[in-house]
Structure 1
Amino acid sequence: MAEGQDLEAFIEAIKAGNILKKRNVKVKDPQVMGALINNIYNADERNRFQGHQSEVWSVSINPDGKTLASGSKDKTVKLWNLETGELIRTLQGHQSEVL
């Protein structure tokens, strides 16, 4: 697997599992099931929205499902477009980390 593609691999494993489930396929090959299960349970996706200079302490999604806000130890709040992953705006001025 290409480095940095953990999320993509995770999504593909879920899709494969859903296809098998919909088709009511009983997978008998332990290597196939092991690969799917291993990918799902050992996924370690971090920093997909890159931009903060320190740890992210809080995340909230707008009820419309289009915007994510992340608060960080770097004393900023960043607003992200969930459809594109792009940074919309950085809110500065906090005196301490944003929890």
Structure 2
Amino acid sequence: MTAVSEALFFSGYKFDALIESIRAGQKWQKIKQLLGENNLSNDTEYRIAASLQQAVYQVSEYNHLEEHGNVVWSVIFNPEGNLIASASADKTIKLWSRDGKLQKTLTDHTDGVSRISFSSDGKYLA
């Protein structure tokens, strides 16, 4: 169950390893519920916990986009990959540079913005 997480971790994909460790833990919990805890090996549980712990302590956050006043429903990169747009229930769309700096806030929406999309040439945002 932890082989994928371990492979990702040692390949340098530490965040992906963390996600896979969480998935392994969720699968393990379902198996425990189905089969009963007394019929299972603790070795698997220890490996999952070790994998998760290793990934958690090695993952460092690179960018954190934190300016919306409510839940974010959609995030998308422009076709060139140098601009990020985020849409929120706070009735705004925010444009960010790739390094996480806020560039612009688009307001005047009458309701929360649930989906956004760049045009194929990256000139328009819908």
Please give the range of the TM-score, normalised by the shorter of the 2 chains.
0.5 to 0.7
Query: Which of 1 and 2 has greater Rg?
Result: 2
- In the alignment, structure 2 segments of 5+ residues that lack a partner are 1-7, 13-45, 115-126
User: Which whole-Å CA distance do the structure 2 matches of 1:57 and 1:33 have between them?
Assistant: 31
Written as runs of structure 1 = structure 2, the 5 A alignment for 1:15-94 is 17-18=10-11, 35=50, 37-38=51-52, 39=55, 48-82=64-98, 84-94=99-109
Q: Say what the alpha-carbon RMSD is for the aligned residues.
A: 3.2
- Alignment deviations for residues 58-95 of structure 1 (CA, whole Å, 9 cap, x no partner): 1111011111100000000000111x210000000100
Match of 1:59, SS?
strand
Match of 2:76, SS?
strand
The structure that is strand-richer by fraction is 1
Question: Structure 1 vs Structure 2: percent identity of aligned residues?
Answer: 38
In structure 2, what is the equivalent of residue 96 of structure 1? 111
- Alignment deviations for residues 17-46 of structure 1 (CA, whole Å, 9 cap, x no partner): 116xxxxxxxxxxx89864x3126xx8x7x
User: Which whole-Å CA distance do the structure 1 matches of 2:110 and 2:49 have between them?
Assistant: 48
Q: TM-score, normalised by structure 2?
A: 0.46
Tell me how many residue pairs correspond in the alignment. 70
Q: TM-score, normalised by structure 1?
A: 0.58
Written as runs of structure 1 = structure 2, the 5 A alignment for 1:1-12 is none
Q: Structure 1 runs of 4+ off > 2 angstroms?
A: 31-35
